[in-house]
Amino acid sequence: MTKKHDGPELLGRIVALPNSPDEAELDLVTNPYKDTVYLVRFTAPEFTSLCPVTGQPDFAHLVIDYCPADCLIESKSLKLFLGSFRNHGAFHEDCTLRIAHELIAAMKPRWLRIGGYWYPRGGMPIDVFWQTATPPEGLWLPDQGVSSYRGRG
């Protein structure tokens, strides 16, 4: 399980990439607009993990949207957490949903959705989408902006 800090403990420090998601730490910061319904988007266009069967690298473009409540995820800790999957063997669905569930457990947002746009494995792209529930009323939800895989077509 990912550790959680209340306050930026990783920011401004030289920190090695965690060896696994289990070793990663997520820093939280206080949301200065906790009474406002708004969207935060993180995009990770170069996410990597390992195939649990072959050990070969898998690549994805992740888009994480959330409506914060009391706290925000500090971006450096999120980058390190996502980077910790580089040596982690798991299927696309597992990686995508694990990221979502770890973020929810750490910051308890009003709402979260994740789009995992995975590049082809065995000739077939696998896209994984999930959200916690219906978005809060009044939340502006832009398109995630990632096209479906088209290959050379």
- pLDDT, tens digit, 9 for 90 and up, residues 70-89: 999 999 999 999 999 999 99
Residue with token string 């994480």: 64
Q: Is residue 144 part of a domain?
A: no
Count of domains forming the chain: 1
pLDDT score recorded for residue 92: 96
Decide if pLDDT at 5 tops 60. no
pLDDT band at 4 (very low <50, low <70, confident <90, very high): low
Average predicted confidence (pLDDT) for the chain: 91
Decide if pLDDT at 152 tops 70. no
pLDDT in tens, 120-150: 987 888 999 999 999 999 999 999 999 887 7
* Domain membership of residue 96 as a residue range: 3-12+19-131
Q: Return the number of other C-beta atoms located less than 10 Å from residue 47's C-beta.
A: 21
* Range 3-11 average pLDDT: 64
Q: Is residue 151 part of a domain?
A: no
pLDDT in tens, 87-114: 999 999 999 999 999 999 999 999 999 9
Q: Is residue 119 part of a domain?
A: yes
Residues designated as active site: 51, 58
